[in-house]
Amino acid sequence: MVSLDDLVAAAERTLTGDVAQELAGVYGDLFVFPENQRLESFPGCDVDLLLLAYENQHVCMWGLALEGPNAGRVLVGLEGSDGATSLVYVESIEEFVAARRWDGDCLRGPLVQAQGQAIDAASLEWLESRFVEAMPTYGWPCEENRRFEGHGLKVMIWICEDQTDWYISGSETALRANLPAIAELSDLSAALWSDDEVGLAVLRYIQSGA
């Protein structure tokens, strides 16, 4: 069994000050650790967690469980439809850092996005069969957040109850080669958009039927 001291030491090695600053730039979250090491009460948890960060609007917070059944996992505490709760966000502090870095790479673009209807099972199975899945996260910003990569692309989807947000990034060549097939999923053909030069060029290319 990993001791409390070992878990704190792993957090100190993995989430250094420089790394916290890097990760804060992805979504604008407010990192508490490692500058301040303090325990915080999380909803539904019997033991306090090592507080890592707050979401930039303080809608939720992330903490590392140091003991109990979730020891070593990163939990997210948030207000849900049934009240305040805490969920396992990822399995380790290493996965927490890796997921944020992956998101940063994805959102750096070139990027094509969509806010569509709740993803259907067939579309999700298509992604699973054609891409390699990176680490999923849970609880925020949606109940389930999936990451896929392959064919020169990163595809991130935030799966909420009533909608799915899509973030698809890669080189112009990779987007031109693969986005037409992705656009056939769910309701993406009418929902894709971009605000960067490459993304717009790729969408014009697809719409032209070239």
**Per-residue pLDDT tens digits for 60-108:** 999 999 999 999 999 999 976 667 899 999 999 999 999 999 999 999 9
The pLDDT of residue 208 is above 90 = no
DSSP state of 38: -
Average pLDDT score over residue span 134-139: 96
The pLDDT of residue 55 is above 80 = yes
pLDDT band at 207; cut points 50, 70, 90: confident
Structural domains of the chain, with CATH: 4-98 (no CATH), 110-208 (3.30.310)
pLDDT band at 143; cut points 50, 70, 90: very high
At 63 the three-state DSSP class reads strand
Arithmetic mean of pLDDT over the chain: 94
The pLDDT of residue 120 is above 80 = yes
pLDDT at position 1 = 62
Handedness of CA 101, 104, 149, 191 (dihedral sign): positive
pLDDT band at 13; cut points 50, 70, 90: very high
Alpha-carbon distances of 182 from 29, 111, 135, rounded to whole Å:
30, 14, 20
CB atoms within 10 A of CB 122: 9
pLDDT at position 3 = 79
pTM for the full predicted model: 0.94
Question: 3-state SS of the chain: helix, strand, coil percent to 5?
Answer: 35, 30, 35
Cβ(84)–Cβ(165) below 8 Å: no
The pLDDT of residue 210 is above 80 = no
- Measured distance between the N- and C-terminal CA atoms of the chain, rounded to whole angstroms: 58
Nearest to 29, CA basis, from 110, 89, 82 = 89
